[in-house]
A and B are shown apart, each in its own frame.
Chain A
Amino acid sequence: MSITAETAKAHAHDPAVLCCRAEGGITIEPANLEDPAIFDDLVDSGLLNLDGCLTIEEVLGAKLAKTCDSLCPLTADVVEGAKAPSAPVEEAAEEEAPAPAVPAVSAPAAAPAAGGVLKIHIGEGKDIDLEIPVGALGGGNAVAAEVPTAAAAAAVEAAAPAAALEEKVVRTLTRKHFKITDVKRGPETKIEGTTLYIREGIEAEVIADQELVKDFHLEIITPDLYHTYSETIMDVQPIATKEGDDDIGCGVTRVLDGVVMMLTGVDEGGVQIGEFGSSEGYLDENIMWGRPGCPDKGEIFIKGNIVVQEKTNMERRGPMAAHTAFDIITQEIRDVMKKLDDSLVAETQELRQVRRPGKKKVVIVKEIMGQGAMHDNFILPVEPVGVLGARANVDLGNVPVCVSPLEVLDGCIHALTCIGPASKEMSRHYWREPLVLEALHDEEVDLCGVVFVGSPQINAEKFYVSKRVGHTVEMMDADGAFVTTEGFGNNHIDFASHIEQIGMRGIPVVGMSYCAVQGALVVGNKYMQYMVDNNKSESGIENEVLGCNTLCPEDAVRALSMLKSAMAGEAVKAAEKKWNPNVKSSNVELIEAAYGKKIALVENEQSLPMSQKRKEKYD
């Protein structure tokens, strides 16, 4: 396939290879050259050797010395009058230098691999047809995070209008923290000092609440019981309530510190709700402590194990009934919390939704699961992470729902959470969403809001919702956008489509997802230039450790600086063909150097205890 003059310009410093047979004496034009995007696979499979190959800019306009066959690399001995190479454009752009190079197309996710087979027809001789599976080797299109150039901060500052417009506090949210150090069972649900009592016999009400709930057990897991066997963890939720008639996202929220709700479940046949890839086993070996969605070490879990009617574990009503019934207990605690005296408040925290007129306006698009069953989320309940008053995003047709950043941090999402423990965003994740917090606090950007969009099962519906996302972001007049998703699978199709819809409107988009090895993107487009990988696992896999590969503050920092670079028009290097964890570390170093601050990286599964037997075997 020959290339256009434009492609030739973009790939000026890439190797020049003939796309088809060319006669000696011709002047080399872009039309004679092959697209460098396919070279990696050909080199990998040994069909192409690029040693000594001249670059495209060197050979354009030069004369071909002798007749060459297709896919012949142009070396000095077959080209007459090659130009001298120019220095490749330095991509580590200085402050305001707008990158002169055309931004490199995101190589890994590019379409060529999607086509499946590269057909080369050699007309001369014996009519040989070659079929080379493009991407058969690196097939997965591994997407590694790309490199943002340094000095992003300075560039964004320079780009912002000099007239400093005043910050505007749109609304505030006060979080009153109540410390809990002990959880016990008692005759009634109450909080005395720092002890929470849960009424004995409350289990019967949980069972009676939903027809599908057949049995229920409540366990209090204190830190000394962390080494306890547990069924798959379905969700981790904060215990919080609104004061008076306050709506989610404003007013006052009361929250218990030191204790979380944890839901697990099976069906009557003993099959886990949400079978496939579960984190059952010993709690301390299966939880990545301190992730935004996970419990922190030292916290007490109020763990409920729900048994739903046989075979409803794979139906939508099963997980829904489990979540709804479990909320009976949380609601009873909430009712008690409402009556607590203010003297028990351990800490008061004020979250402010700040708009910064004149700064680059950014929006966060969070793709949430909407394929059905536990791939669903209750949006905007009356109480933080409650059930009452909420609408399931599947019922809403998965269309974009705009919320304020404070609504996100106040528990507007009750996640039924999908499978794949390492990358699922549980309800608590939204309560402590790092990207929202980071963007809200960053004085260089103006976070205008958060858009939740569901990921439907069917492609037609995926494109339906992603077009709505495009229009939603367009009418916001945003200067930049983040698109995040959880897990991997067919949700990457709409993830790519969201980025395309926003990108085609001229808005730079940073995409965030777990990709690495197993979650490599299945599709890509030219707008997917700025990608941040949420992977933390050592080998880039779904490691079955709860919350391990979810979005963390370090990812939020990387995404923000990448978006700033993109909005400032700086070039971001294309990703490597295969996942390379070093890309992340070098990016972190670049950001640390540009901002002069240390970015603390979170630990991964290697920090967890291994059972004695495993240790003997593998260490």
Chain B
Amino acid sequence: MNDERLKYGDKIIYMEGVIVDVDDCSISIDLKGRLGFLKAPKRMFICDTEPKVGQEVGFRMSFPEQLGPEINDKYVSNIEKERRKQDEMRKRLDNKEV
């Protein structure tokens, strides 16, 4: 992983967001200003008190930049497999409920 491929890597900006969901292992954040949504493992979130929906969070980030036009087939195949499996399992779940 070399960050030299980033063209704008040093453009770090301060961001704020609102916690919209907390479960036992993750927190979900809506970025203020309709700038997106972020879900991260709880372990990567630093908090002095228990994280709760509605709390505001702050962090710095820059823009995700495409590293190149290449497509990594390993990831594509994993994503496809995952999607197929989820579709199948969802169908089975739906049938069960009917």
Contacts and interface: CB of A to CB of B under 8 A. Distances in A.
Q: Do A and B come from one complex?
A: yes
Interface of A: 133, 136-137, 229, 266, 268-271, 274-277, 280-281, 285, 307, 310, 314-316, 369, 371-375, 418-419, 457-460, 487, 489-491, 493, 517-518, 522, 539-541, 611, 613-614, 617
A269 B43 contact: no
A316 B89 CA distance: 22
Given A281-B74, A457-B51, A518 B46 contact: no
Contact of A270 (B23, B73, B85): B85
B25 A460 contact: no
Contact of A611 (B1, B49, B51, B74): B74
Q: Which 7 A-B pairs have the closest CB atoms?
A: A270-B86, A373-B25, A373-B24, A489-B43, A270-B89, A314-B23, A316-B24
Nearest to A229: B81
B73 A518 contact: no
Given A269-B89, A371-B25, A613 B73 contact: yes
Interface string B81-93: 1100111111001
22 contacts: A136-B12, A137-B10, A266-B89, A268-B93, A269-B93, A270-B89, A274-B25, A281-B74, A307-B89, A314-B23, A369-B43, A371-B25, A373-B25, A375-B25, A419-B41, A458-B47, A460-B48, A489-B43, A490-B42, A539-B1, A541-B1, A614-B73
B24 A276 contact: no
Nearest to B87: A270
B65 interface: no
Contacts of A375: 25, 42-43
Contact of A490 (B10, B46, B74, B81): B46
B74 A614 contact: yes
Contacts of B47: 457-459, 490
A466 to B, nearest CB: 15
A315 B43 contact: no
B55 interface: no
Nearest to B40: A276
Interface of B: 1-2, 10, 12, 23-26, 40-51, 70, 72-74, 78, 81-82, 85-90, 93
Given A269-B90, A373-B23, A491 B43 contact: yes
A541 B1 CA distance: 7
A483 B81 CA distance: 40
B23 A489 contact: no
A617 B70 contact: yes
Contacts of A307: 89
A136 B87 CA distance: 44
Contacts of B85: 266, 270
Contacts of A280: 78, 81-82
Contacts of A371: 25, 42-43
A611 B73 contact: yes
B49 to A, nearest CB: 6
B93 to A, nearest CB: 5
Main SS class of interface, B: mixed
B44 to A, nearest CB: 4
A285 to B, nearest CB: 8
Contact of B82 (A270, A369, A373, A487): A270
A310 B89 CA distance: 10
Best-surrounded residue of B43, B50, B86 (most CB of chain A within 10 A):
B43
A522 B60 CA distance: 14
Contacts of A274: 25
A418 B43 CA distance: 9
A109 to B, nearest CB: 16
Given A276-B41, A457-B47, A491-B43, 11 more contacts: A269-B90, A270-B85, A275-B26, A314-B25, A314-B26, A373-B42, A374-B25, A459-B48, A490-B46, A617-B72, A617-B73
B12 to A, nearest CB: 7
A277 B25 CA distance: 13
Contacts of B78: 280-281
Contacts of A517: 1
Given A375-B43, A540-B1, A270 B24 contact: no
Best-surrounded residue of A133, A314, A374 (most CB of chain B within 10 A):
A314
A87 B82 CA distance: 63
Contacts of A266: 85, 89
Best-surrounded residue of A269, A315, A369 (most CB of chain B within 10 A):
A269
A458 B50 contact: yes
Contacts of B2: 539
Contact of B93 (A275, A310, A540): A310
B15 to A, nearest CB: 15
Contacts of B26: 275-276, 314
B43 A487 contact: yes
A372 B51 CA distance: 13
Contacts of A314: 23-26
B8 to A, nearest CB: 14
Contacts of A491: 43
Contacts of A457: 42-43, 45, 47, 50-51
Contacts of A539: 1-2
A270 B70 contact: no
A303 B76 CA distance: 25
A521 to B, nearest CB: 13
B36 to A, nearest CB: 17
B50 A489 contact: no
B82 to A, nearest CB: 7
A320 to B, nearest CB: 10
Contacts of A281: 74, 78
A490 B44 contact: yes
A490 B45 contact: yes
A202 to B, nearest CB: 22
B60 to A, nearest CB: 9
B25 to A, nearest CB: 4
Best-surrounded residue of B25, B46, B78 (most CB of chain A within 10 A):
B25
Nearest to A489: B43
Contacts of A613: 73-74
Nearest to A116: B60
A226 to B, nearest CB: 16
A489 B73 CA distance: 29
A613 B49 CA distance: 48
Contacts of A275: 26
Given A458-B47, A459-B46, A460-B49, A268 B89 contact: yes
A458 B46 CA distance: 7
B87 to A, nearest CB: 8
